[in-house]
A = this chain, B = another copy of it.
Amino acid sequence: MLPKEFLQPGSVAVIGASRNPEKVGFGVFANLVQAGFPGPVYGVNPSGGELLGHALYPSIDAIPGPVDLGVFVVPPKAILEGIPALARKGMKAAIAISAGFKEVGGEGIALERDLIEAATAAGIRVLGPNCLGLINTHASLNASFSRGTPPKGAISFFSQSGALCTAVLDWAIGENVGFSKFVSLGNKADVSESDVMEYLADDPDTRVILGYVESIDDGRRFLRVARDVTRHKPVVLVKAGSTAAGARAASSHTGSLAGSDRAYSAAFRQGGILRAGTMEELFDLALGFAMQPVPSGDRLLILTNAGGPGILAADMAERLGIPLAEIRGELREKLLPRLPSTASLANPVDVIGDARANRYREALAAIRDEPSVDIVLVLLTPQAMTEAEETARATVSVLAGSGKTVFASFLGEATVGESRRILSAGGVPNYPVPERAVQAVHGMIRYARLRPEGPGREAETPGARPPVAERSIRSALDAGRRTLGEEEAREILEAYGFAFPGHAFADTSRAAADAFRALGSGKAVMKIVSPGILHKTDVGGVRLSLSSEEEIARAFVEITSAVRRRAPSAWIAGVSVQEMVEGGREVILGMSRDPQFGPLLMFGMGGIHVEVLKDVSFRVAPLSRRDAEEMVRDIRSYPLLASFRGNEPADEEAVVEALLRVSRLAIDFPEIQELDINPLLVLQRGRGVRAIDCRMTIAEGP
């Protein structure tokens, strides 16, 4: 958590305040003064003198009072020296604006480490280095070298890119969009996005948190914080560098499909964070959250004075799965007399091209208290009779305090500019084209749906026996092995509640026949058991559908001789005779470890769906039950689990349970590096799942 001295300091010192207007040290000091910070602002400059009506002090020690926040615009070594001096003045928070640290490599890396060490020793938190600074409009605090200060508002923004901060500030000032806090994170040597999010969650002046993120260092903390923050207020992030990081080299299917971007997407989703695809989407959503209540439902009513824009909005709503409210019952009765007879009483509701403001007002009044409508989108095209400004006023006044979420799109430019300003001033987010309004609506609905239930929500997995798994892993590690044998992996999974088909080892054809009889199942599979052979099918080491003792005995001879012939150097222990499970649908469950987020679980339909079509979903462990359920439904091929072509529906609930068990296992044993259960056979609803084959690699814990 960020100490409050960063954004609500009682006093600020600028180390490196400069009288040269070309210097950053001037810009920061001038911003502090011009934004009207009410507490003392101390400038430190070796040559002393005065700047903008404030005395400059020749040294830190010369500052006459206590300092909460120190802003450093001096070279790296001078910052290192200044930290203890300002600690003596009571400083709790430091902003290192200067560059020359980790980002330049070499000595800079050591300097950054030294900086954080010195600060930590003095109990001081550091923002940056190599950043723009920060702004809190509600405290009249501009401790940055921005060009100007944005108007007050409810949007807070943090950014890993200083240049994007400047661009967003410039946009906010030019478009008169209100902001609450700006935080430029720079190198994130100490203060991270998680710290800022935690702080903003409790900030009464922030309604929506935006961020631009390139990388997250402590993914697990980030996810924990996100889960907590998004219960209180929306977080919308742009994650850049999303496609650059390719898949990692890995030995499992899961590992080869799990790229860094998959982990970020999964973590954002689980943390209730909305991921914006573009900067424009980020701010479109921000306006919605800043100005309007989160919708209490998803039923949208579109009010328009022209067919075309109404259809465009309805198309986008359908594409995004937003239901249009039905116009019937009382609403219909109320609308009917207020609209001309040619007006459409479908949704979009068309008030017709000759509608003046009053007709809009009447229609809006009818909608205002209608319980079957959650969201209202008001569209307007500038036609001959149109009263854009008066319609904007009607939209604002009629729907204010209605509890409905209200959006607008007034199309055009020359004759609608003023009406847009009226909408914005009245708290109605408005967009130049209807589609963007609907996309923003969609983001708000998604937030309402995704919002996590809160932390501590990992599902129970009764009956897991960690000690059994631990023994297997320990003995393999002690033997210096990194890949577990099928028997070992199976033992571990069985200890976490996975059922495998019945099976027995046999080293003679007679023993194999006995084993088949003991299984008591209709059909059996026989597989070679030979530690050196990875792909059993390739060497003729697998036979399916064996249904009598004679077939079993014959298969034993055939398999062992085939393997001897094709893999002469392999040692053959014998065969495994397994119950053959029929009629199930194949799925894959997997786990790999992400450097930022830890265990990353994968789910997909088996065979071509994972291997060729790469149709898989990911989540970060630990999973909640909802996470696991969504994971199953996220894949395109999900309909294959439902009933189709006369198939009974598969046991989806058992798949969810299986995912939760893998999640538990991954959390309990950081030694497990990668895991594929492939295939897991999903039987008919109520009959559970059977793990058929599995692979697991391990390593000494972190």
Contacts and interface: CB of A to CB of B under 8 A. Distances in A.
A307 interface: yes
14 contacts: A147-B415, A161-B307, A163-B307, A164-B306, A166-B382, A167-B309, A173-B413, A173-B414, A174-B415, A174-B417, A279-B433, A612-B637, A613-B636, A636-B636
A648 interface: no
B280 A436 contact: yes
A163 B353 contact: yes
Given A159-B308, A644-B611, A414 B315 contact: no
A607 to B, nearest CB: 9
A537 to B, nearest CB: 10
Interface in A337-365: 342, 353
A429 B360 CA distance: 37
Nearest to A388: B170
Contacts of A309: 161, 163-164, 167
Q: Which 4 A-B pairs have CB atoms at the shortest separation, nearest pair first?
A: A174-B413, A161-B308, A163-B306, A170-B412
B212 A164 contact: no
A240 B613 contact: no
A692 to B, nearest CB: 17
A480 interface: no
Contacts of A249: none
Contact of A311 (B241, B342, B383, B384): B241
Given A104-B342, A309-B164, A240 B24 contact: no
Interface string A356-384: 00000000000000000000000001111
Contacts of A686: none
B170 A414 contact: yes
A172 B411 CA distance: 11
Contact of A414 (B174, B305, B311): B174
Contacts of A147: 382, 384, 414-415
Nearest to A167: B411
A238 B314 CA distance: 14
Contacts of A434: 279
Contacts of A382: 147, 166-167, 170
Contacts of A172: 413
A435 interface: yes
B166 A308 contact: no
A175 interface: yes
Interface string A229-258: 000000000101111100000000000000
Nearest to A432: B280
- Of the four ranges (under 10, 10 to 19, 20 to 34, 35 or more), the interface on chain A belongs to 35 or more
A27 to B, nearest CB: 7
A229 B324 CA distance: 38
A203 interface: no
Given A214-B311, A279-B434, 9 more contacts: A164-B411, A166-B383, A166-B412, A168-B412, A171-B432, A174-B413, A243-B315, A279-B312, A613-B636
A311 B305 CA distance: 41
A278 interface: yes
Nearest to A212: B308
A293 interface: no
A244 B171 contact: no
Interface of A: 24, 27, 104, 145, 147-148, 159-164, 166-175, 212, 214, 238, 240-244, 277-280, 305-309, 311-312, 314-316, 318-319, 342, 353, 381-384, 411-417, 432-436, 608, 611-613, 636-637, 639-640, 644-645
A24 B384 contact: yes
B174 A412 contact: yes
A169 B415 CA distance: 10
Contact of A305 (B163, B319, B433): B163
A407 to B, nearest CB: 15
Contacts of A611: 644-645
Nearest to A436: B280
Nearest to A645: B611
A661 to B, nearest CB: 28
Contacts of A342: 104
A524 to B, nearest CB: 21
Given A170-B415, A612-B639, A278 B164 contact: no
Nearest to A283: B433
B280 A315 contact: no
Contacts of A412: 166-171, 174
Nearest to A382: B170
A261 B369 CA distance: 36
A656 B613 CA distance: 22
A13 B272 CA distance: 63
Contacts of A381: 163-164, 166-167
A436 B278 contact: yes
A634 to B, nearest CB: 14
A212 to B, nearest CB: 6
B104 A240 contact: no
Contacts of A435: 277-280
B314 A384 contact: no
Nearest to A22: B384
A384 B148 CA distance: 12
Contacts of A163: 305-309, 353, 381, 383
A616 to B, nearest CB: 14
A165 B295 CA distance: 33
Contacts of A637: 608, 612-613
A636 B611 CA distance: 13
Given A170-B411, A417-B174, A433 B278 contact: yes
A677 B189 CA distance: 63
A287 to B, nearest CB: 14
B27 A170 contact: no
